[in-house]
Amino acid sequence: MKRDRVLKIVVAGVVLSAGLAAAPAGAQTGPDRRSAGSLPDMLVNDDGTALTFEIFRNAKHRAAKTHWISLTPNYYYGDVDPRWIPVEPYESFDQYAAVRWEGLQAVAPDVSLGIALCVNLSVPWPYGYESGVFPEHPVWGKDPLTPYVAWCREHNIEPYFSIRMNDQHHSVHANPMYHVGRFFWDQPELFIDPPSREEWEELYLPWINRGTNQPSQLPESYRKGGPDYHDLRVNYAFEQVRDFYVGLAEDLAENHPDASGIELDFMRSLKFFPEGEEEPEKLTRVVRRIRESLDRVEDRSGNRIRLVARIPTYHDGYAAGMRVRQWLDEDLLDGIVLGHGTFFSDNAMEEWAAYAKSRDTKVYGPIERMYFKTRIREATPEKVRGVASTLYGKGAEGLYFFNWFAPEEHYLLPELADRQALRKKNKTYFADTARVARDKKELGSRLIRTPLVHRAGEVPSLYRFVLSVNSDFKAADEIRLSVHTENIHREFIRITVNDAEVTDDMRLIYGAGRLTYRLPDTVARKVVENGDNRIDVRLSANPFDEDLIIEGVTCDFLY
């Protein structure tokens, strides 16, 4: 009998066996018609905002006769507020795509590439294109997805559709028109935490349909965190909700049988039932029905429409009612995207990756572009390479990019796809999350993002970072491990790397108002290793009136 592989999860100090076991004896684990090798190596999610019909409802935009495209060019450098910017009027999909996907078009000949276009608001499901519910797009008419598929095919890019399985933007954003489905407007009882009919009609509908004389946002008490806040994600316990998402996938497949695949994005957002009322089989039936509908289209068209799911860590998904192991055992998925893409060294994806690959399911490591905005994460090609290398080391076979609205950076894709060459390119690994133990107590289970604040009067504390490395040590000309602080002097700090005391070996570097501790190459080669590295930063009691700040840990490999 095969020995089970069990994923152990620590929650509030309790070890739980999550049961991520190997495939049972006799189960089919070999390749079938859902071959992992047939999916692209790089999959870039596009939120599809500029293809939505509602964008052009704004009278000011129409009067200006100007086309608008959503671009946020500098997430890496702190410019993190997406905004609409006017561009020259475009008269064809090619002109639009030249702005939106210029970088992807340029690298497509050199890399196995796909776009996963979010379609929740590009398709007037379940009303039909002739319903009049959505205005016709001023450039490509009633169906923007057909020219999208054709453009991708012309430019050697695999066209995927991405369905957000329970987006919650409308619960928190001041402009819910783009996110709350018209299908649910008249059925507020389908939400996880439905408002009263009076609240819905007097507060929410005016908010959704607002004009110049209507409120620009909900009353403060109804916003997220307020006492009257309602979770407007939909409740999968209702058959109407399940039928809606299955029907959307079927509609996409039936109308676009030449598409490459559909992504089910369960990370937008990770809640499908009221807390404590999860019904896993109902969620599994949704995935199963979608897989069956795609198979029927394949039987008629001869084209395999692949199914990819973007999923969380095992415990978070299990708690939300997801049974991804069962989905893999039933061969429902062709690929999975493991995680949100905001953690890299701390992305516990190894067990999932191994099990998915045993089921011939391609594994993508995610990179959430928007979160590259702190100093430790500031964009450089070296840091993007470091993230990609970390994900490959944890078992990823491809990379998945989310919120990557920076065409000038897309040139990196071909070198990120070449894993062997990547190992010998300059890269920077970084850790900007840690677990904390105060006054010699046990480490907390919660990851805390930097900057880590050791407050005035704080007791002695341990800050533990994990830095995952995947590089060619022998070929490297120099390896530099650095602990970045704002104002911590040597007498208050002790640093160990994989249990080796290295504080006295580290050079103290002053610059830009910061203090950085750097381990020289000769010592770094002795204590740093491929895989997870444990960096412990111990601070003594803070005797000052000001806080002491740890910004994070980096490790540079120079070739």
pLDDT of residue 4: 31
Give pLDDT tens digits for 17-71.
333 434 433 333 333 434 444 799 999 998 876 554 333 333 333 333 444 343 3
Give pLDDT tens digits for 69-85.
433 333 333 333 434 44
pLDDT of residue 114: 97
CB atoms within 10 A of CB 448: 14
Measured over the CA atoms of residue 515, residue 520, residue 521 and residue 524, the dihedral's sign is negative
Quick check: is 308 in a domain? no
Instruction: Look up residue 31 and give its amino acid.
Output: P
pLDDT of residue 49: 60
Stretch 320-331: mean pLDDT, rounded? 96
pLDDT of residue 345: 93
Quick check: is 90 in a domain? no
Domain of 486 in residue numbering reads as 429-558
The answer, yes or no, to whether residue 285 has pLDDT greater than 60, is yes
Strand 433-438 vs strand 448-449: parallel, antiparallel, or unpaired?
antiparallel
pLDDT of residue 258: 94
Phi, psi for 108 (deg, rounded to 5): -55, -35
Quick check: is 294 in a domain? no
How many whole angstroms separate alpha carbon 498 and alpha carbon 532? 9
Of 4-8, 197-201, 327-331, the one with minimum mean pLDDT is 4-8
pLDDT of residue 180: 53
User: Which has more pLDDT, 172 or 239?
Assistant: 239
Contact residues for 382 (Cβ-Cβ < 8 A; gap 6+): 426, 427, 428, 556
At 119, the pLDDT band (50, 70, 90 cuts) reads: confident
Peptide bond into 112 cis (omega under 30): no
C-beta separation of 234 from 274 below 8 A? no
Quick check: is 122 in a domain? no
pLDDT of residue 124: 57
Give pLDDT tens digits for 369-404.
767 667 788 778 999 999 999 999 999 999 999 988
pLDDT of residue 369: 76
**Count: domains in the chain:** 1
Phi, psi for 451 (deg, rounded to 5): -75, 140
Phi, psi for 214 (deg, rounded to 5): -115, 160
Quick check: is 134 in a domain? no
Give the domain CATH number at 476. Answer: 2.60.120.260
At 333, the pLDDT band (50, 70, 90 cuts) reads: very high
Angle at 419 between CA 329 and CA 399, to 5 degrees: 50
User: Which has more pLDDT, 169 or 37?
Assistant: 169
The answer, yes or no, to whether residue 489 has pLDDT greater than 70, is yes
Give pLDDT tens digits for 503-558.
999 999 998 889 999 999 999 999 999 999 999 999 999 999 999 999 999 999 99
Mean pLDDT value across the chain: 81
How many whole angstroms separate alpha carbon 45 and alpha carbon 160? 9
Quick check: is 552 in a domain? yes
Of the spans 26-40, 166-180, 413-427, which averages the highest pLDDT?
413-427
At 116, the pLDDT band (50, 70, 90 cuts) reads: very high
pLDDT of residue 120: 75
Quick check: is 549 in a domain? yes
The single residue listed with the structure tokens 């504390």 is: 461
Measured over the CA atoms of residue 379, residue 380, residue 386 and residue 388, the dihedral's sign is positive
C-beta separation of 271 from 321 below 8 A? no
pLDDT of residue 137: 61
C-beta separation of 244 from 126 below 8 A? yes
